[in-house]
């Protein structure tokens, strides 16, 4: 255990969660409780979830709790929560990403909270794991609305690689509550075991990945990757409990929790 603590000591890791994902009178997740645990908040921009009032409330909470805020654009899919694969041209993806990043920046100015990065949501992010055309459209949309904004990308993804090719500031994230296939890509949510639920098991697994610098696949393979941030999905059952267990494990091994932005 002493060696494990030494391996993590002084390492800086960001914890992020998706927030502001209600709509109108509907709410999803306990954002106030989650903001007490994480260091970065990915705020929905109104396409897959969120609306102006929810965005303003979430921005204000994050500001008061000194949590970094990022724009969280996705497909225009309230019905499917942005998790259904949709067909758009590259140009259309550029437009929808630019539109949502611009909305987040406008709300940030109103609330006195700078938007510090962009993280893409759901099916759009999943497509950018393997499709370079989608990754390129996402980057073009971000650049048009927020030149210089860093990108929080799925580790070992096409988007992650393209950011580095373009010499754009990019931070790589793994998912605490999601399983990976043997290629180091996220398992589809329809796959048995794709979503993880036990807080202690999740925390131990994430710590192994941080310590080793790899993605742990469902079959036990280790895919080497850079890790800057760990995501806990706000809509996962007991999301706050998972985030708390994760932070506790990380800090017990000397990891410093701090926003990359």
Please identify which residue in the block is written with the tokens 């090719």.
Answer: 165
Query: 121 with 42: CB under 8 angstroms?
Result: yes
Cβ atoms of 51 and 77 within 8 Å: the answer is no
Contacts (Cβ under 8 Å, ≥6 apart) of 137: 90, 91, 93, 94, 97
pTM above 0.85, yes or no: yes
What pLDDT score does 161 carry?
A: 97
Is the pLDDT higher at 141 or at 238? 141
Give the number of other Cβ atoms within 10 Å of residue 211's Cβ: 18
pLDDT at 261: 81
pLDDT tens for each residue of 166-218: 999 999 999 999 999 999 999 999 999 999 999 999 999 999 999 999 999 99
What digits encode the pLDDT tens for the residues 75-111?
Answer: 999 999 999 999 999 999 999 999 999 999 999 999 9
Highest mean pLDDT among 1-15, 19-33, 51-65: 51-65
Burial class (CB in 10 A: 0-12, 13-18, 19+), 92: middle
User: Is pLDDT above 90 for 155?
Assistant: yes
**pLDDT level of residue 163 (50, 70, 90 thresholds):** very high
- Classify burial at 56, counting beta carbons within 10 Å of its beta carbon; exposed 0-12, middle 13-18, buried 19 or more: middle
Under DSSP, is residue 186 helix (H, G, I), strand (E, B) or coil? strand
Per the structure block, which two tokens stand in for 49? 């979830």
Residue 235's pLDDT is: 83
Give per-residue pLDDT as tens, 16-45: 999 999 999 998 889 999 999 999 999 999
Average pLDDT, the chain: 94
Q: What is the pLDDT of residue 7?
A: 57
Q: For a pLDDT cut of 70, what percent of the chain falls above it?
A: 97
Look at residue 236 in the predicted model and tell me its pLDDT.
82
Mean pLDDT confidence for 231-255: 93
More confident residue, 133 or 237: 133
Q: Please list the alpha-helical segments (H only) found in 49-182.
A: 52-64, 90-111, 122-130, 132-145, 158-165
Would you say residue 4 has pLDDT above 90? Answer: no
- Going by pLDDT thresholds of 50, 70 and 90, the confidence category of residue 1 is very low
pLDDT of residue 184: 94
Domains and CATH numbers, the chain: 2-257 (3.20.20.370)
Task: Note whether 61 and 31 are within 8 A (CB).
Answer: yes
Expressed in angstroms, the distance from the first to the final Cα of the chain is 31
């Amino acid at each position: 255990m002493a060696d494990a603590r030494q391996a993590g000591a002084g390492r800086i890791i960001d914890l992020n969660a998706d927030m502001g994902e209600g709509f109108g009178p509907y709410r999803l997740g306990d954002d106030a409780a989650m903001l007490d645990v994480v260091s970065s908040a990915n705020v929905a921009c109104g396409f897959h979830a969120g609306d102006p009032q929810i965005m303003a409330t979430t921005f204000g909470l994050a500001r008061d709790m000194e949590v970094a805020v990022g724009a969280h654009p996705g497909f225009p899919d309230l019905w499917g929560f942005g998790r259904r694969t949709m067909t758009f041209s590259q140009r259309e993806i550029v437009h929808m990403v630019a539109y949502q990043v611009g909305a987040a920046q406008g709300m940030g100015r109103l609330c006195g909270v700078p938007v510090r990065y962009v993280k893409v949501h759901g099916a759009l992010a999943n497509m950018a794991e393997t499709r370079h055309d989608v990754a390129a459209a996402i980057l073009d949309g971000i650049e048009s609305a927020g030149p210089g904004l860093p990108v929080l990308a799925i580790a070992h993804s096409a988007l992650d690689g393209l950011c580095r090719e373009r010499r754009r500031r990019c931070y790589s994230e793994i998912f605490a509550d999601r399983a990976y296939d043997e290629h180091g890509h996220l398992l589809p949510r329809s796959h048995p075991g794709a979503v993880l639920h036990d807080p202690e098991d999740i925390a131990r697994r994430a710590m192994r990945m941080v310590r080793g610098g790899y993605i742990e696949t469902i079959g036990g393979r280790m895919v080497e990757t850079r890790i800057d941030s760990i995501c806990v999905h706000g809509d996962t059952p007991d999301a706050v409990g998972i985030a708390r267990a994760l932070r506790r494990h990380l800090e017990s091994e000397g990891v410093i929790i701090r926003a990359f932005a």
